[in-house]
Amino acid sequence: MVEPLVRRSLEIIRQNQAPSGAYIASPNFKTYRYAWFRDGTFVAYAMDVMGEHDSARRFYDWSAQTIMRHAAAAGQLIVQVERGESVQRDQGLHTRYTLDGEVGKEAWSNFQLDGFGTWLWGIVEHLRQTGDQESAARWQNAMELIARYIATLWQQPNYDCWEEFGDRIHVSTLAALYGGLRAYAEMGNAPSYERIAHDIRGFVLEHGIADGHLCKFIGNPAVDAALIGAAVPYQSLALDDPRMIATIECIERDLRREEGGVHRYRADTYYGGGEWILLTAWLGWYYQQRGDETRARDLLGWVTRHADANFELPEQVPAHLNFPDEYASWVARWGEIAKPLLWSHAKYLVLWQALDT
C-alpha cells in the first residue's frame, strides 16, 4: 500500500515543477524560489525511481538549455584556468537560476561545483533507466561542456553543498565530481574523464582522510553528513570500504543523537543547526544499500514522523539544535524554516522506494 506521505511527496514535486521543467527548491521560502542543479537533480532522480520519467526529462531539458544559454561564462572560465590565471568567485556557471534559466539578481555563493557533478551523474542515471537516445543527443553538448568544466576546475576552492567555506576544497564536492565524471566516462565518452575521476579519488585518499575517515574539507578533520554521498550515490568509496564505514560511524557519533535525525556538521549554526530531513533519509539510503534494513527503516520512520498534518516535510527540524541561541536571528532574517523543501521529499521517496522494492 502506498503511504500518504509518498502520494503527497509526488504531488508536491509535480505542483512545484515549472512549465519550463525547473523544480523550485521551496515555494514558501523566498530565498529558495530558484532552481538549483543539485537539489533539482536529486528531485529528478527521485521521480525517475518512482517511474515519473517525463518529469525528470523535463528537468534535464531545462537544465541543459540553461547550461548552453550560459555556455560562454563556462568556456571563459575553462580557458582562464587552462592558462593558469586566477579564478574569481563570481565567474562561471551559477549554482542556481530562476525558473526561466536566468541568473539571480542578488548576491549569492555561486561558485559551487558539486551541483554540476551531481547533475552529470543524474542525467546519466536517467538515460540508463530510460534508454532515451533522442534526449541523449539533445543534451550531449551540455553534458560535454559540464564534463570539461568540472574536469578543468576540480582543484579550485569553491563553496560546498551548503554554500559555505568558499576558500576550501571540500571532500563531498570531490565525491560528486568523481561520480559525475565516472558516470559520463562509462557512457563511452573521452577516456580522459575516467583518468581525471581517478585523479580526484587519489587526491581524496591522499589529502582528504583524517584518523581513518573522510574529512569535511582539506585541512579540517571534522565530518560532514554530505560525505555519505561518497558511497551513495557517487561510489568514490565502496559501501564497505573501511574508510567509508569509519566516516559513517563518525557521522553517527558526532552528528546524530540516539534515535534522532542527522545534523549537517557539528559547528553548523544555520537556523541553530537542526536535524535535516534529507540527510536522515540519505543515511537510511546508505544503510539500505549496505543491507541493513532495520537501521534504514528506523531512519525512514523518523522522517515520516516529522511530516506535518499536510504531509509536508521541512528542510530541518529545530528540536535539538547545535546552537539554540542562533535560531531566532535566522527566523528574523529569512522567516520560518523552509517547508515544503522538495529535496527533503525527494530523499524520502528515494529511501522509501529502495526499501519497498
Q: Residue 135: what pLDDT?
A: 97
- Cβ 151 vs Cβ 197: under 8 Å: no
Domain boundaries, the chain: 4-356
Note the pLDDT tens digit of each residue in 186-215. Answer: 998 888 999 999 999 999 999 999 999 999
308 is catalytic: no
Whole-number pLDDT of residue 106: 87
Give Cα 264 to chain centroid, integer Å: 13
- The residues, ordered by sequence, that sit 6+ positions from 82 with a Cβ below 8 Å of its Cβ are 152
Mean pLDDT, residues 221-237 = 98
Note the pLDDT of residue 1: 53
The set of cell numbers assigned to 220 is 579540517
Average pLDDT over residues 82-111: 91
- pLDDT band, residue 142 (cuts 50/70/90): very high
Q: Which fold has domain 4-356?
A: Glycosyltransferase (1.50.10)
**Active-site residue, from 163, 293, 298, 312:** 163
Per annotation, catalytic residue among 114, 125, 268, 315: 315
Predicted local distance difference test score (pLDDT) of residue 357 = 67
In the residue annotation, 163 being an active-site residue is answered as: yes
Grid cell for residue 168: 576550501
Is 315 catalytic? The answer is yes
Given a cut of 90, is residue 317 above it in pLDDT? Answer: yes
Give 126-130's long-range contacts (Cβ < 8 A, gap of 24+): 126/44, 126/45, 126/48, 126/53, 126/56, 126/57, 126/60, 127/187, 129/48, 129/53, 130/48, 130/53, 130/57
Q: Quick one: what percent of the chain has pLDDT higher than 90? A: 94
Residue 63 is predicted with a pLDDT of 98
Query: How many angstroms separate the CA atoms of 4 and 132, rounded?
Result: 31
- With 80 as the cut, is the pLDDT of residue 61 above it? yes
Identify the active-site residue in 39, 114, 125, 160. 160
Confidence of residue 89 (pLDDT cuts 50, 70, 90): confident
